Structure 1
Amino acid sequence: MPRSTEPGAPAATDVRVLVVDDDFMVARVNRGLVQRVAGFTVVGEAHTGAAALTAAARLRPDLVLLDIYLPDMSGLEVLRRLREAPGPEVDVLAVTAARDVATIRAAMRGGVVHYLIKPFTREALWERLDRYRRIDQRLSAGPEIGQAEVDRMFGGGRAEDLPKGLTPQTRELVGRALRAAGDLSATECGDLVGLSRVSARRYLEHLVETGEAEVRLRYGAAGRPERRYHWIGRS
């Protein structure tokens, strides 16, 4: 979707985020977590449903981190009104303590990109944001994509649907190494199976796209976060 190009605004490629939570402290924490992820900029906060709708209309964010429990209306009602509002569409990531099936089902039917249940780790939020940005970038790259890429975006795809340059034999080696270790960086994986870091990362990213692994971003004191790959198997 288009990014802001107004003077003084975040970089045109940044994902503009609106944080919505009834708890001022939680909203501040979530704002700080989002700001630590490269390519994301928080453009505002809201603590009620009405304020969220007003801020969304004024700020035109790309993504809303939306709590379900709000003091004046349900976050599900906010989601519905965002979907009906004129202007550019906005994506919604539900970040909430609501864990009942009816609420989760309603959020899914409302088109949330993910549903994250409180309490969660900062890494869990970073992973969802990272995945959102990668999918968003791919969908913005051209007018069409193939079925294999669509399957990978939805967490599916078959093992034989390998990207160009990857082989089933090496994919199996990388998968076995990750299963045995449980958690690896691309460098560590490459050392184990005899691949360069770049090649190992391609296979690991493929496992992420097929839903067999997930990425955990480890932030140090400075510099870019380290991507750690964690085996989860097929759901």
Structure 2
Amino acid sequence: MIDVLVVDDDFMVTRIHRGFVERVEGFRVVGTASTGEEAIAGVDEFRPDLVLLDLYLPDMFGLDVVTRLRAARHDCDILVISAAREAEAVRSAVRYGAVNYLLKPFTFDELRTRLEQYAARRNSLQTAMVSDQADVDRVLSRTASHLATSALPRGLSPETADLVEHALREHTATLSAAECANRVGISRVSARRYLEHFAAKGRAEVTLRYGAAGRPERRYRWVA
């Protein structure tokens, strides 16, 4: 379970963002904050894995919160959620180590995609054995997969698609959506969407496993 602290000065926006996060499998909100000082205190108290951080806070700029957190040796990740559209704001967020930058207003699907990307990358960094530079590039998404240039359905990301592909390639037998989700670190529903996309493109084959009762289980194998 990935613990999240939501930081925004508008309590209604905070409520909406909290609801969004708690709809994503594998995430839970452990606290909220409406000021920079509250955010710093919240990280001290709750020790979240991820902070959804607004930049425009009443007492300080959001990236100043990051500076304070790093000075206090907190290693939580930061996902910036802001209405700031200036290129410098985005560049600054990247320099400060933000894992993503999401413009307000955004939909649930847009946030879910970023959270699942984060979970997939975090899971890979925690569990993957890095054997060569290609593995490093794959995990950090610094090189473009062939999937990045191919058309993906709305809501699917090249980064997560690359991780699902990697899971299929590594597994010599077939994988179910649930098994793939556990390997990659995303929800079963999301894993199923990526697997069905690969099947539709001819990159994966689907077989059915029949049990004693109920619908047969769909299982996937990489064939491209």
- In 1, the alpha carbon distance for the partners of 2:47 and 2:25 equals 20
The number of aligned residues is: 172
- For 1:101, the equivalent position in structure 2 comes to 87
User: Which of 2, 5, 15 is the matching residue for 1:28?
Assistant: 15
- In 2, Cα distance between the equivalents of 1:40 and 1:192? 31
Shift of 1:106: 1.0
Secondary structure class of the residue paired with 1:38: coil
Q: Which residue identity is paired with 2:28?
A: T
Deviation (angstroms), 1:199: 3.6
Give the equivalent residue in structure 1 for 2:205. 195
Contact 1:92 1:111 in 2 (8 A): yes
CA change 1:136–1:145 in 2 (3 A) is farther
Inter-partner Cα distance in structure 1 for 2:67 and 2:197 = 45
Would you say the 8 A contact 2:4–2:28 is kept in 1? yes
2:40 counterpart (40, 49, 53): 53
Give the drift of 1:76. Answer: 1.1
The residue aligned with 1:153 is 139
Give the aligned partner of residue 91 of structure 1. Answer: 77
Task: Tell me by how many angstroms 1:102 deviates.
Answer: 1.6
CA distance in 2, matches of 1:143, 1:165: 15
Check whether the contact 1:148–1:157 (CA below 8 A) recurs between aligned residues.
no
1:92–1:165 Cα change, 3 Å: closer
1:67 equivalent in structure 2: 54
- Give the aligned CA root-mean-square deviation in angstroms: 2.9
CA shift, 1:152, in A, is: 2.1
Question: Could you list the per-position Cα deviations for residues 4-40 of structure 1 after superposition, in whole angstroms to 9, with x for gaps in the alignment?
Answer: xxxxxxxxxx111000001101011100110111111
Equivalent position of 1:134 in the other structure: 120
Deviations 1:88-124 (A, max 9, x none): 4110000110111121111110000000011111111
Identity %: 43
Secondary structure of 2:205's counterpart equals: coil
Higher helix fraction (1 or 2): 2
What is the CA deviation profile of residues 37-89 of structure 1, one whole-angstrom value per residue up to 9, with x for unaligned ones?
11111000000011101111111111000000101101011111112113x41
Conserved in 2, the CA contact under 8 Å of 1:186 and 1:198? no
Name the aligned partner's letter for residue 190 of structure 1: A
For the residues of structure 2 that align with 1:129 and 1:45, how far apart are their CA atoms? 17
TM-score (norm 2): 0.68
Secondary structure of the residue aligned to 1:72 is: coil
Unpaired stretches in structure 1, ≥5 consecutive residues: 1-13, 167-183, 207-235
- Shift in alpha-carbon separation, 1:145–1:58, aligned structure 2, 3 A: farther
CA contact (8 A) 2:130 2:136 kept: no
Deviation at 1:142, TM superposition (A): 5.2
Rate the CA distance shift 1:185–1:144 in 2: closer, same or farther, 3 A: closer
Q: Distance in 1 between matches of 2:219 and 2:195?
A: 7
Give the unaligned 5+ runs of structure 2.
Answer: 147-161, 171-192, 207-217
Distance in 2, matches of 1:149 and 1:143, equals: 8
* Cα pair 1:67 1:75 within 8 Å, conserved: yes
Distance 1:116 1:145, change over 3 A: farther
